[in-house]
Structure 1
Amino acid sequence: MLRARQGLLLLRPLAVAVPWGPLALAAGLSALILLPALLDDPAPAAALLELRLAAVLLGAGASFAMTDGMAPTVVTATPRWLRQWLRLAIVVLPAALAWLALHSIAIAVLGSGATAPAGDLAVEAIVCGFTGVAGAAVAARYRHTQTAALAGPLTQFTLATFTFFIDKQHSPWLPPGSPNWSTVHRYWLLGLPIIAITLLLANRGTWPLRRPSFRQTPSQLRITIEPDRISR
């Protein structure tokens, strides 16, 4: 009950403190890149590609909320894990709604079976988006600056680049109707627990930013005398 009450009290100040600019920019770019596939020449393949790209962009924008610039200077009565999960929830909800809105628009224009099975595409979007958030959450344990959030897009870019070296039959970016679609999406499902475990580990207490100081007060000093030195 205490943590729930603290969470409710923290929602408003955290919502104000979260940098919304990157997420707003990602949402605008996602809508912009989807428009040509819907208006000029409706193309299901292009719409699928752009929905995948939209998930990556929205995840990259949400990753900037995982760094807390006030963490090194302010002592709070709430644990870090509570603040980090609240930050995550605050940005993930609008990012998910933005992607669902784009997906709904694509379905309304192109038809229900034009892009990909909704469940499989949603799993792709979750993995693509949360990969960036998880990368930024890990970096936020080391650094409290906004540059640490760049670890999110960098993680996405690194993993996406790696997928282009996979043969086409087992590529994670298969078009709908491919023979290996079901097999490949089992691997997409494996990404969900990996990301969940990463977030659970990253959203705990902060790792030390520097080595502990060796300065001690006289009361903290312990003097040990070795017997062989006494004999000398």
Structure 2
Amino acid sequence: MTAPARAEAEVARGGSVGRRIVRRRIVVRGLLRPEARALPWGPMATGAVLGLLLVSVPLVFSLDAGPGVGVNLLRVAALCGAMAVSFALDDPARHTTGVLPVPRPLRQQLRLCLLLPPAAAWWLAVLGLARAGGMAGGSTGVPLADVTLEGAALSALALGLAAGVVRFTGVTAPGPAVVGAVLAAAVAGLTLLPDGVALFVPLGDERWDRAHALWAALLVLAAAAWAACGPEPLRAGGARPFGRLGRGPRARRSGA
């Protein structure tokens, strides 16, 4: 039995709810390969490799880097990971796929599911290099769970910003702009925030726990922003901020 015939048989066997579930599963299976091909793996791999190289410096050059240096290197690696995530929603064919009967949140969720396994493997490699370089592990090392929370919040921030650009503009490749915004946000968080709401606090600082409560809040807010920006605009022209440039020739002739 061919794949389309098997799919039709699965749909026919289910009830109304079952049919919807089966149809959604068929759609997901059909989209996995195109979405995997459409992901900009090159820019994302560049950010990931840069993060690995930075964390491996103490190990490669046999430097005596303590936990204080280690937490800063891990933060820089997490920032590199967030810059890689900034390209996750780049889609040169966006204005073509926008007319497909597949909701944009589903396409974005598929991209996220495709990215999670390599991203998790990359972060485990980063932590492994930190341990091998003597910067993490043990009772006096870097608290890896807290730094992982920081990295997750930065990546969620990048994803939320990219979703916002996609939602409110006609840009097909928001990645470069989001990279700049993430870097600017990191610099602002490092230099402009008052002590009471500092995010990048030194290891052993009494503000450490409070700072990571703020990181957890940032993670939740960034994820909520991504979810809110996922759906297509209600108006067809909502993603075209330049008025008549996005309208057809008949509408321009009629002045509508």
TM-score normalised by length of structure 2: 0.76
SS at match of 1:73: helix
Compute the displacement of 1:108 (Å): 3.8
8 Å CA contact retained: 1:33, 1:50:
yes
8 Å CA contact retained: 1:23, 1:95:
no
Which of 77, 83, 88 is the aligned partner of 2:107?
83
Alignment coverage as a number of residue pairs:
218
1:156-177 deviations in whole A, cap 9, x for unaligned?
1222122212356753222222
Unmatched 5+ stretches in structure 2: 1-20
Corresponding position of 1:225: none
Which of 85, 90, 93 is the aligned partner of 1:70?
93
Corresponding position of 2:83: 60
Is 2:72 the partner of 1:41?
no
SS at match of 1:66: coil
Corresponding position of 2:120: 96
Which of 145, 151, 155 is the aligned partner of 2:181?
155
CA RMSD of aligned residues (A): 2.5
Which residue identity does 2:155 align to in structure 1? G
8 Å CA contact retained: 2:104, 2:232:
yes
Compute the displacement of 1:115 (Å): 4.1
Which of 180, 185, 204 is the aligned partner of 1:177?
204
> Aligned partners of 1:149 and 1:166: how far apart in 2?
26
Unmatched 5+ stretches in structure 1: 222-232
Moved over 6 A (4+): none
Is 2:137 the partner of 1:112?
yes
Compute the displacement of 1:133 (Å): 1.8
Is 2:221 the partner of 1:199?
no
> Aligned partners of 1:54 and 1:156: how far apart in 2?
13
TM-score normalised by length of structure 1: 0.83
Which of 11, 30, 43 is the aligned partner of 1:9?
30
> Aligned partners of 2:94 and 2:76: how far apart in 1?
32
1:193-228 deviations in whole A, cap 9, x for unaligned?
10111110121114331547583999xx9xxxxxxx
8 Å CA contact retained: 1:57, 1:129:
no
Larger CA deviation: 18-27 vs 169-178: 169-178
SS at match of 1:151: helix
Query: Which structure has the larger Rg over C-alpha atoms?
Result: 1
